[in-house]
Amino acid sequence: MTRVAAVQMASGPNVGANLLEAGRLIAMAADAGAQLVVLPENFAIMGMAETDKVAIRETAGAGPIQDFLANQAAKLGIWLVGGTIPLAATAADKVRAACLLYNDQGDVVARYDKMHLFDVRLNEGEETYVESQTIEPGATPVVADTPFGRLGLAVCYDLRFPEQFRAMLEQGMQLFVLPSAFTAITGRAHWEVLIRARAIENLCYVIAAAQGGFHVNGRETHGDSMIVDPWGTVLDRLPRGSGVVAADIDLARVANTRRNFPAISHRRLRVGGPM
Q: What residues are annotated to the active site?
A: 41, 114, 156
Can you say how many angstroms the Cα of residue 62 is from the centroid of all Cα atoms in its chain? 21
CB-based contacts of 6, cutoff 8 Å, min separation 6: 37, 38, 40, 207, 208, 209, 210, 225, 226, 227, 244, 245, 246
Contact 134, 126 (CB under 8 A): no
Q: Name the residue among 57, 44, 39, 43 with its Cα closest to residue 15.
A: 44
Contact 15, 52 (CB under 8 A): no
Q: For residues 154 and 158, give the distance between their C-alpha atoms in angstroms, rounded to a whole number.
A: 6
Identify the DSSP state of 157. Answer: G
Q: For residues 211 and 220, give the distance between their C-alpha atoms in angstroms, rounded to a whole number.
A: 9
In 3-state terms the chain splits into helix, strand, coil percentages (rounded to 5) of 30, 35, 35
Q: For residues 44 and 85, give the distance between their C-alpha atoms in angstroms, rounded to a whole number.
A: 7
Q: Crossing angle, helix 162-170 and helix 192-202, to 10 degrees? A: 30
